């Protein structure tokens, strides 16, 4: 495992995975190929001497075929939270979570790259209430059907510097006098980005992970209300959180769909109807102990 193609590697989790692997293999000259839609999305990775950032359309099979040449493994990380409405999922979800994994599987097989690590989402299921979770399940199924050395990761919400979860709440707390919150009772078991990156890196180096699917969770469950309150308080702007009734939450989410980069969609509300928690308790593979949120979050939320 020397040459790695990391698709979706320029984002929050991808950056942590690249960092984790680069640290572990400082002496082993791991080479990362990181396709991106826009080079400036990968500015922070350009300094890494072992990373090659390429502007590429990974949805184009010919481009994917070129990217696969000479790779030993593929890490597949592309994911979106807004994919539109539709049955069983919106067009955006179909493209990013279903068609892309299918194209990755086909290109990997054609190039003889057997090892594939794919990040899905906790509680992805064909009968899940949201297009996000249904499309993630469809992507998993297509990869499972392909004859590859596959490992799947299914994290709950991920926290860490640069997350779009606790950081968003902390930012909103600065400007909002109180929080009108949709899905206040929704349950999560947040997992630290460093632990998710370590699980991926461990799996890459451990053949026994082939064929496994790992649910990834932190040590503790919280309601969304608790997490928002916590992020606001730790950032120095404690705020009252007001849970919205379902109908109002729905209207709020629908109106936010018209705002570019709006923080919520109706599909997000549907996702929150399933508790994003690990049924077996705290879960990380290979005996790793999950890092508590209260240890890491203050380091990047304060101030
Ligand atoms: N963050 C969480 O809390 C969480 C929880 C559970 C599961 N996950 C899953 O973990 C994976 C990584 O999440 P993340 O938080 O690191 O996401 P992220 O920060 O938004 O990064 C997404 C990556 O995917 C690429 N990308 C996004 N949309 C794309 C598209 N339409 N076509 C091609 N590339 C696209 C981006 O590349 P460029 O912008 O450089 O092109 C970026 O590298 C995703 O599959 C996500 O569903 C995340």
Residues 212 and 208: their CA atoms lie apart, in Å, by 8
pLDDT tens track for 88-97: 999 999 999 9
What percent of the chain has pLDDT above 70?
98
pLDDT band for position 251 (50/70/90)? very high
Number of H helices, E strands in the chain: 11, 13
Q: Whose CA is nearest to atom 21 of ligand 1?
A: 11
pTM surpassing 0.75? Answer: yes
Instruction: State the pLDDT at residue 28.
Output: 56
286-296 burial, b at 16+ Cβ within 10 Å, e below that, comes to: eeeebbebeeb
For residue 199, pLDDT beyond 80: yes
Which of 18, 60, 77 maximizes ligand 1 atoms within 8 Å of its Cβ, making it the mutation to test the pocket? Answer: 77
Q: For strands 222-223 and 187-188, give the pairing.
A: antiparallel
Cβ–Cβ under 8 Å, residues 204 and 116: no
Instruction: State the pLDDT at residue 283.
Output: 80
Cβ-proximal residues to 101 (8 Å cutoff; 6+ apart), any chain: 76, 118, 139, 140, 142, 143
Instruction: State the pLDDT at residue 26.
Output: 61
Could you identify the residue written with the tokens 């209207």?
A: 251
Q: Whose CA is nearest to atom 30 of ligand 1?
A: 96
Sign of CA dihedral 90, 96, 102, 107: positive
Q: Angle 224-234/166-175 helices, nearest 10 degrees?
A: 60
In DSSP terms, 276 is beta-bridged to 188
Distance from residue 245's CA to the centre of ligand 1 (Å): 30
- Please tell me if the CB atom of residue 14 comes closer than 6 angstroms to any atom of ligand 1: yes
For range 248-261, the mean pLDDT: 92
Distances (CA, A) of 177 to 49, 173, 226, 238, 272: 45, 7, 17, 9, 24
For range 27-40, the mean pLDDT: 88
- Pick the closest to residue 171 from 213, 220, 212, 231 (CA basis): 231
For range 269-297, the mean pLDDT: 94
What percent of the chain has pLDDT above 90?
91
Q: Whose CA is nearest to atom 36 of ligand 1?
A: 8
Instruction: State the pLDDT at residue 217.
Output: 97
Average pLDDT, the chain: 95
- Please tell me if the CB atom of residue 297 comes closer than 6 angstroms to any atom of ligand 1: no
Query: How buried is residue 127: exposed, middle or buried, by Cβ count under 10 Å (0-12/13-18/19+)?
Result: exposed
What domains can be seen in the chain, in order of their start residue? 3-160+191-217+279-289 (3.40.50.720)
pLDDT band for position 31 (50/70/90)? very high
Instruction: State the pLDDT at residue 29.
Output: 73
Instruction: State the pLDDT at residue 141.
Output: 98
For range 16-23, the mean pLDDT: 94
Distances (CA, A) of 275 to 125, 138, 217: 13, 20, 12
For range 137-160, the mean pLDDT: 98
- Pick the closest to residue 21 from 10, 35, 32, 11 (CA basis): 32
Query: How buried is residue 99: exposed, middle or buried, by Cβ count under 10 Å (0-12/13-18/19+)?
Result: middle
For residue 142, pLDDT beyond 60: yes
For residue 301, pLDDT beyond 90: yes
For residue 225, pLDDT beyond 70: yes
Q: Whose CA is nearest to atom 11 of ligand 1?
A: 77
Instruction: State the pLDDT at residue 268.
Output: 96
Instruction: State the pLDDT at residue 282.
Output: 74
For residue 202, pLDDT beyond 60: yes
For residue 281, pLDDT beyond 90: no
């Amino acid at each position: 495992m020397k040459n790695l193609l990391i698709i979706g590697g320029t984002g929050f989790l991808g950056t942590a995975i690249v960092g984790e692997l680069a640290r572990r293999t400082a002496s082993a000259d791991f080479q990362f190929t990181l396709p991106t839609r826009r080079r400036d999305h990968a500015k922070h990775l350009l300094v890494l001497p072992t990373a090659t950032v390429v502007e590429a359309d990974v949805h184009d099979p010919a481009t994917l075929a070129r990217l696969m040449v000479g790779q030993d493994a593929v890490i597949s990380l592309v994911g979106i939270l807004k994919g539109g409405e539709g049955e069983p999922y919106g067009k955006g979800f179909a493209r990013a979570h279903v068609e892309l994994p299918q194209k990755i599987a086909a290109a990997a097989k054609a190039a003889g790259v057997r090892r594939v690590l794919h990040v899905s989402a906790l509680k992805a299921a064909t009968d899940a209430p949201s297009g996000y979770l249904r499309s993630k399940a469809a992507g998993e199924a297509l990869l499972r059907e392909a004859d590859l050395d596959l490992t799947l990761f299914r994290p709950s919400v991920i926290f860490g510097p640069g997350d779009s979860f606790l950081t968003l709440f902390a930012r909103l707390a600065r400007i909002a006098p109180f929080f009108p919150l949709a899905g206040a009772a929704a349950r999560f078991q947040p997992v630290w980005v460093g632990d998710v990156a370590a699980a991926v890196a461990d799996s890459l180096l451990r053949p026994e992970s082939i064929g496994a699917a790992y649910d990834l969770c932190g040590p503790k469950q919280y309601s969304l209300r608790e997490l928002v309150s916590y992020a606001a308080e730790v950032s120095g702007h404690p705020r009252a959180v007001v849970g919205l009734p379902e109908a109002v939450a729905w209207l709020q989410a629908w109106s936010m769909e018209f705002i570019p980069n709006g923080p919520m969609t109706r599909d997000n509300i549907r996702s929150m109807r399933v508790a994003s928690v690990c049924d077996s308790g705290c879960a990380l593979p290979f005996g790793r102990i999950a890092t508590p949120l209260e240890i890491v979050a203050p380091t990047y939320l304060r101030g």
